[in-house]
Amino acid sequence: MIVALILGFALLLIGIYGMLSQKNLIKIVIGFSIADTGTHIIIVSIGYLRNRTAPILNSAVDISKAVQQVVDPIPSALVLTAIVIGLAVTALMLSFVVELYKKRQSLSIDDYQELKW
């Protein structure tokens, strides 16, 4: 599952690049979201084991041999949690952006640097 791993890292880097290069607050949040998604893909990819099925105990899997037949379920479980958390963080970031815009009518990050030194 090397492809997914590479894709995940690519997304992560693209996301970070977006966060660093875009001035628009919303775009920065989108950059964060892309990076986050990249991380999720990486997580899923490392749980994958070649030629195995989904870790669901139904008729397709022989329960006594399940360990040899399914992919590692832990990363899948983890990624669900991570997605939820990522969603919460993104939502909170966006609400901050909305509030910031209300205060100053600007979405450029350059307009919010009076706190410094």
Shortest distance (Å) from residue 13 CB to other proteins: 10
Q: Which is nearer to other proteins, 4 or 100 (CB)?
A: 100
Site for other proteins (CB under 8 A): which residue of 11, 30, 36, 41?
36
10 Å CB burial of residue 38 (0-12, 13-18, 19+) is: buried
The SS3 call for residue 108 is strand
DSSP run (H or E) holding 55:
none
d(CA 75, CA 8): 14
- Residue 115 touching other proteins (CB under 8 A): yes
Q: Which spans in the chain are helix H?
A: 2-21, 25-47, 66-69, 73-104
- Residue 62 touching other proteins (CB under 8 A): no
d(CA 55, CA 74): 9
**HSE-CB of 17 using CA atoms within 13 angstroms:** 7
Shortest distance (Å) from residue 101 CB to other proteins: 10
- Residue 99 touching other proteins (CB under 8 A): yes
- Residue 105 touching other proteins (CB under 8 A): no
Residues that bind other proteins (CB under 8 A): 12, 16, 19-20, 23, 25, 28, 32, 35-36, 39, 42-43, 46, 74-75, 78, 81-82, 85, 88-89, 92-93, 96-97, 99-100, 103-104, 109-110, 112-117
